[in-house]
Structure 1
Amino acid sequence: MNNLFESKKSQILAVIFTGAIMIALDGSTVSPILYPLKTAFGVSEGLISWAINIEVLFLLIFTPIIAKMADYIGRKKIYLLCISSFIAGLLIVVSAQSFEWFLAGRALQGIGAGISVLAIVLIGDHFTENRGTVLGIFGVIISMVYAAGPLIAGFLINFDWHFVFAVNIPVALVLACLAYKLLPAESDFSGKKAIDWKGIIALSLAIAAFAIFITQFSGSLFSAGAFILIAVTIVSLLLFLKFERSTEEKILPLSMLKRKNPLIASILTLLGYTAGAGTYFLSTFAIMAFGLSDSAGAYILLPFTVASLVATLAVGKLLDKTGPKPIMLAGGLISATGMFILGISGSIHTFILSTILIGIGNASIAGNALYYLMLHESGTEDRASAQGLLNVLLNAGSLIGGALLGAAFDSASGGTANYRITYFVLASVYIGLAIIVTRLKQD
């Protein structure tokens, strides 16, 4: 820790941590105000969900582009472009007189949220000995803001929904100034080959079609719209792979997957975040199983949140000492135990115990350990692209998990029975993930 806060590194940390506050504040304050937004714009339940979905969609589409351009023309330039997009989006949102303009602003915010990928890259570029510690602090800051976000939104909505978004404008402006002043300028990137724009377009189409299918059509697999989106996804992916094979400047570093650790990290990311979507429904399960009120159902997740926070910081410190393998192995087994206890829980006390274990386990097998592993496996020239790949898989896993588990729970006719069965299945998934972790090579 002695050299962690030396002058140059402390300046970079100021940028990274301010960016974490901005992104977490945006991500945690929108869900609590969906109903006021629905009323203000006079739209349906289905449409108002796009207040969140469109930001996620554009983040998914632009993550590999942002990552590649950061490797191509430099971190600082792309970071500043992302902040500019985020600020422009905020200004459009707070001045929007129609839902269409509101969504346009949210889309620009989604592009700007790409700084979350660049933050991990900057940590990889400038921190070696203390990399895990910095990742841990970064994760804790995000988690703390996420915990406070609903309270902030609840207070500001008493004035007007515009204030919920406007509160982030000064944070974004401060971040822009800090990034411009403090981020180091990069060396000349003129030796790079031409960007594969055909590959970018094909990949963007594939991601967009897949995300829309998961969020809008996963419950109606045999509809015409679902078939069209699946076809577009498959064809676009095939075209992307064809374009990637014929270019020297790859959009995603798929060649990394020929190596054991990056391949395992990618599998763990996709499956881990798919299984992690089970935590989205913990509050609903508690309300149904124990007859809690809506507010009590929210408060009962506080131990889960605290456990995740503490574990995130602890994992960061341990990563620098032990590496990711033992931490991720323990995390998989702890999450499996938590899911099993959750499946048999007959009291609030066992429910709380299970959520604490799940919070600790998920913070250990996913998140910072995966970032750390991929940073270790990539060099400076492809570090951003590698994190872009990881983030695409992360978001895809979250979307798939949310859709699959949501459909499973919706199909339940026996109250909490279907929840319990699903949690037993997830326990077995985490055991499988722990087994996969054992195949990692430990340096």
Structure 2
Amino acid sequence: MPPATPEESKPAHPRWTLLACILASSLSFVEGSVLNVALPAIRAGFGAGASEVQWVVNAYLLPLSALLLLGGAVGDHYGRKRLLMLGTALFGAASLLCALAPGLEWLLAGRVIQGIGAALLLPNSLALLNATFEGEERGRAIGIWAAVGAAAAAIAPLIGGWLVEHVGWPSIFYINLPLAAGAILLAWRFAAESRNEAAARTDYPGAALATLGLLGLTYGLTLWSVQLRFTPAVTGLLVAGVALLAAFLWIEARRGDKAMMPLAMFGNRCFVGTNLMTFLLYGAFGAVMLLLPYVLIEAGHYSPLQAGLALTPLAVIIAVLSPIMGRFAARIGGRLPLTAGPIVVAAGLLLGQRIEAGGSYLAQVLPAVLVMASGMALAVAPLTSTVLSSVDRKHSGTASGLNSAVARTGGLIATALLGSVLAARGDALVGHFHTALLVSAAVCVAAGLTSWFTVAGSSQGAKVAEA
């Protein structure tokens, strides 16, 4: 694919470009929230085991986590519009493969391709907006982009639950097709090409090592979580994964500013702290968001639609309160909200200890969901602004992309550790779920303490957090 040339550029139509970017990125937002409601039906449909259910999630998260930074760099080099269209086309084709999958292997292959497509379309949808809009219009466009994504994530479990219940689980993948087609058509017709070849970091060796290292680590943890013992295969996979990730860091150090993940950014205490906090918080939260609808359906005998409804308040609260917290954090700095948010999430997880099979939704499930949502709303917007303020302007895009990749890697690792929970049935499933909630609450407290000790206490201090 040759780089874009000036002759290929054409005047942008900002509103239609915004709509194209919204449709494309909504594919990932919708897929991330709708699949959890469908997992029990997918497991039953294929007669899958616990580790195979884990891979339905992680086959998507693995390439997305490892390739997200590279996807943005390739878009800088070859053209953001082109990569947005390519990623969206891959995602749409993979969704069709998932819907028509005759066996679990085909479904997993489709999920991998979906992850690759998402790694291309997500960073380039935002980069295309940055290139199309300027000044206040840019901030307004990104705000609309984020708000629609949050709304899509909120309504997706309801739509997915209804489809699983009345049409069947393959139908959740068919809903991606019109979104993908609309995004490609609008981008092709109305978006102007843009690129920044000088800023591109096409670090293919780094991307390959990161992917293989995460694969080894994830596969090893998945096997261990089902067996709960270190067999030679598990040990070998974990050692290989760690060795490959160490080689990735060595490659990145040698490439300097040309690296996919410039290690110079990690000389800043605030940047290191916020990314560690992101890994811990999103890992714990991702694990619970996978387990909660699964437990409600399997042990609580909720229908998929009821499970989707049960999660709706969470996405709505995060979408409504996050902008308010973003403005609040701009005045007081990120330290307080980034400390309080994870601890409030931990309180919500402890409330989840009251969830039992056949228990009341209003008395047991809803209070936990409301408190968890409030904690995440405290942290989401301040996290983004704090990460960006902790690095210089030339690294802002890389820092944002890296933080997104770290969040997904947290979910990837957490999902790999859930084998014993997903393998349980009946009362044992609820008991294992309670244990997972306790562990996740402890991880969230660690995330809050990490923020307290690494993030500066004012917006000015957040910009220069000395190592």
Alpha-carbon distance, 1:180 to partner:
2.7
- Equivalent residue, structure 2, for 1:362: 376
The more displaced of 129-138 and 350-359 is 129-138
Q: Deviations over 1:215-265 (max 9, x none)?
A: 333343511222111111122122222222332521112211112332222
Query: Structure 1 203/359 Cα, relative in aligned 2: closer, same or farther at 3 Å?
Result: same
Secondary structure (helix, strand or coil) at the match of 2:462 reads coil
The more displaced of 256-265 and 32-41 is 32-41
- Equivalent residue, structure 2, for 1:224: 232
Is 1:337–1:427's contact at 8 Å kept on the other side of the alignment? no
Query: What is the aligned counterpart of 1:117 among 123, 126, 141?
Result: 123
Alpha-carbon distance, 1:310 to partner:
1.9
Could you tell me the percent identity over the aligned residues? 22
Structure 1 segment 135-150 matched on structure 2, within 5 A: 137-150=144-157
Q: Deviations over 1:343-372 (max 9, x none)?
A: 689995586444323212112213x43333
Alpha-carbon distance, 1:292 to partner:
5.8
Is 2:98–2:106's contact at 8 Å kept on the other side of the alignment? yes
Alpha-carbon distance, 1:71 to partner:
3.8
- State the distance in 2 between where 1:425 and 1:223 align: 28
- State the distance in 2 between where 1:41 and 1:312 align: 39
- State the distance in 2 between where 1:416 and 1:239 align: 36
- State the distance in 2 between where 1:216 and 1:384 align: 35
Structure 2 counterpart of 1:144, which letter? A
- State the distance in 2 between where 1:298 and 1:420 align: 20
Alpha-carbon distance, 1:317 to partner:
5.1
Structure 1 segment 199-348 matched on structure 2, within 5 A: 199-219=206-226, 220-248=228-256, 249-277=258-286, 279-280=288-289, 281-282=291-292, 294=302, 299-316=309-326, 318=328, 324-325=334-335, 327-339=337-349
> Which runs of 5 or more structure 1 residues have no equivalent in the other structure?
1-6
The more displaced of 28-37 and 239-248 is 28-37
Is 1:70–1:384's contact at 8 Å kept on the other side of the alignment? no
Alpha-carbon distance, 1:73 to partner:
3.5
Size of the alignment, in residue pairs? 433
Structure 2 counterpart of 1:56, which letter? L
Is 1:38–1:48's contact at 8 Å kept on the other side of the alignment? yes
Is 2:348–2:371's contact at 8 Å kept on the other side of the alignment? yes
Is 1:71–1:382's contact at 8 Å kept on the other side of the alignment? no
Is 1:252–1:388's contact at 8 Å kept on the other side of the alignment? no
Alpha-carbon distance, 1:195 to partner:
4.2
Is 1:65–1:200's contact at 8 Å kept on the other side of the alignment? yes
Is 1:304–1:356's contact at 8 Å kept on the other side of the alignment? yes
- State the distance in 1 between where 2:295 and 2:168 align: 32
Query: Structure 1 212/387 Cα, relative in aligned 2: closer, same or farther at 3 Å?
Result: farther
Query: Structure 1 327/194 Cα, relative in aligned 2: closer, same or farther at 3 Å?
Result: closer
- Equivalent residue, structure 2, for 1:15: 20
- State the distance in 1 between where 2:297 and 2:52 align: 27
Is 1:60 the equivalent of 2:70? no
- State the distance in 2 between where 1:413 and 1:352 align: 17
Is 1:153 the equivalent of 2:153? no
Query: Structure 1 369/8 Cα, relative in aligned 2: closer, same or farther at 3 Å?
Result: farther
Alpha-carbon distance, 1:319 to partner:
5.8
Q: Deviations over 1:146-187 (max 9, x none)?
A: 333233234444345443322221210111122233443225
- State the distance in 2 between where 1:408 and 1:160 align: 25
Query: What is the aligned counterpart of 2:445 among 417, 425, 428?
Result: 428
Structure 1 counterpart of 2:209, which letter? A
Is 1:68–1:384's contact at 8 Å kept on the other side of the alignment? no
- Equivalent residue, structure 2, for 1:3: none
Structure 1 segment 65-214 matched on structure 2, within 5 A: 65-114=70-119, 115-122=121-128, 126=133, 137-157=144-164, 158-159=166-167, 161-187=169-195, 189=197, 195-214=202-221
Q: Deviations over 1:278-336 (max 9, x none)?
A: 64345688899xx9653577655444343223223433555666664554344345435
Alpha-carbon distance, 1:266 to partner:
1.4
